[in-house]
Structure 1
Amino acid sequence: MDKSIFKKKISIEETKMNVVSDIDSEKVNLNNFIVNQRDILKKYIANNPLFFKTLRPYKLKNQDISSNPKIIRKMIEGSQIANVGPTATLAGTIAELSLDYLTKNNSNYSILENGGDIAFLNNYPEKKVIFGIYAGESPLSGEIGFEFKYKSKNEKMGICTSSGSVGYSISYGRSDCVTVISKNASIADGLATSIGNNVNGVLDQDAVENGLSAAEEFREHFIGALIIVGESIGTIGKLPKIVETNNEFISNDFEEK
């Protein structure tokens, strides 16, 4: 792949995004797009405060979901699929919409990582991408990752992670890492939270097994999922190749080859 690759960091209020793309995000005003999406969300929350506060799926009252802006539709749909509040899908939704924006501007290769939640597209058959897995204090943290190889043109993917031991997001489980892979980052984000809430048990392996049991209920909505608690690990579905990263310091980051 001989096309130039641009790497940018975007920080807009709570949105902290790393962008790797064959499109210069500054030239296509990705910052302005994100600001606009956040403004749409703020206005909706001002008129519908429960949308922001609830930890349960958000239900519209006498209103067709199609009449809402795309960011709101995505968050509501992800909320209802994963049985969580809509804000549990926010980071993944913004990453996904930002990816859609870059592809509309003719990107063939873009990775958008928003606080550990990733949306990406790779249309280059010769290009493979490795995403390192960060799992807090687990000895597996930074030691393994997913290797994605080209499969088909314009196949976008979402890879989102929830943790009960890392970060500030609400989780009722004790996972070091629940990573979900789906076609849509908005859905993967909500599912990671939902599955993570069920990662509980006295023994680490029990916690992993309980998380996998919860994940089974959502199989039609994801490609694969991985759960880590301490030294225990469990998987479900069809995951990409798991490889050693040999990187001691991976934190919400990725490695390209």
Structure 2
Amino acid sequence: MPEKRRVYRAWLRQEDLTFFEVKVKETDLLLGVRRERFSPSLVWKVEKLVREQRQLLEEYLRRDPAFATALTPHQVLPDAPPIAWAMAEAARLVGVGPMAAVAGAFADLVGKYLGRFSREVVVENGGDIYLKSTRQRTVGIYAGNSPLSSRVALAIPANLTPLGICTSSGTVGHSLSFGKADAAVVLASTATLADAAATALGNRVQTPEDIEEALSFIQKIPGVLGAVVIIGKHLGVWGKARLVPLEPGQAVTEK
């Protein structure tokens, strides 16, 4: 994950936005907003939000430890916090455990909050992205040792945002995946759903021959807008995932 994080964060720092980091325990966010909307108090407000939401989730996990270990959909307790409900619902739609959506859930939470202050918002959380923009942006795809890694990007039109763009990998990072895809990328209406769906997509790819069936599965999920699968030199694309060549330093940028 450190290598992946360095790649994404080098790509994301673009001239038209001001970027800052917020770290609370395992939650490590890179955030971008319009220059005139940035202030030190905004950093403090986001950190406070993340601390409060992490505390709510951690307290819930102590009451419902199965939520943290489930690899299939899990029914939350009636008094679960909203973030746990969001994670569980996304996981239910794609057939994975709710923690598969945790990074995306925090990206959504912070992204929606920042959207109250800025028309341009980028939230990166472990390579998972919440994006809100008034102009077309491109988002690079990191796929480990694949020859396609850092060579292609997703072109995201403004009218598709806000949305989540999340990646699962069986060869990069420490996140659990039962597949062997170098990158399974999902575009969805929320980062919470994109995160869970990327895990489900990646789990279905063991060989290049699995790409077509995996993409067929993911396109049936309500709220999923597009997907990309990379395994070695092989690539599959579906839906509103439009690929363009990636130029150095242009992963999330004005176009």
Superposed pair shares fold, TM > 0.5: yes
Match of 2:139 among 97, 119, 131: 131
Report the TM-score when normalising by structure 2.
0.86
Task: Look up the match of 2:127.
Answer: 116
- For the 8 Å contact 1:207–1:229, the answer to whether it is kept is no
User: Aligned pair count?
Assistant: 236
User: Secondary structure at 1:99's aligned position in 2?
Assistant: helix
Unaligned runs of 5+ in 1: none
Give the structure with the larger helix fraction: 2
Q: Identify the match of residue 43 of structure 1 among 49, 54, 59.
A: 59
Aligned 8 A contact 1:162 1:193 in 2: yes
Superposed counterparts of 1:218-257, under 5 Å? 218=221, 220-239=222-241, 241-247=242-248, 254-257=251-254
Residues 12-35 of structure 1: CA deviation (Å, up to 9, x unaligned): 211121111123264231111111
- For 1:148, the aligned partner's letter is I
1:57-93 deviation per Cα after TM superposition (whole angstroms, max 9, x unaligned): 01136x3xxx532211111111111111110000000
**Per-residue deviation, 1:4:** 7.0
Whether the 8 Å CA contact 1:8–1:18 is kept in 2: the answer is: yes
Q: Aligned equivalents of 2:198 and 2:158: distance in 1?
A: 24
- For the residue of structure 2 that corresponds to 1:147, the secondary structure is strand
Structure 2 equivalent of residue 207 of structure 1: 210
Change in CA separation of 1:151 and 1:17 when aligned onto 2, cut-off 3 Å: same
Q: Considering only aligned residues, what root-mean-square deviation do their CA atoms show, in Å?
A: 2.0
Percent same amino acid among aligned pairs? 31
Q: Unpaired runs of 5+ in structure 2?
A: 1-14
- What's the counterpart of residue 100 of structure 1? 112
* Structure 2 residue aligned with 1:167: 173
Q: 1:52-67 residue pairs with structure 2 within 5 A? A: 52-60=68-76, 63=78, 67=79
Would you say the 8 A contact 1:164–1:173 is kept in 2? yes
TM-score by length of 1: 0.86
Shift of the 56–30 alpha-carbon distance from structure 1 to 2, 3 Å rule, reads: same
Matched residue, 2:148: 140
Task: Report the counterpart of residue 158 of structure 1 in structure 2.
Answer: 164
Query: Which amino acid in the other structure matches residue 236 of structure 1?
Result: W
User: What SS class does the counterpart of residue 243 from structure 1 fall into?
Assistant: strand
Letter in 2 for 1:70: P
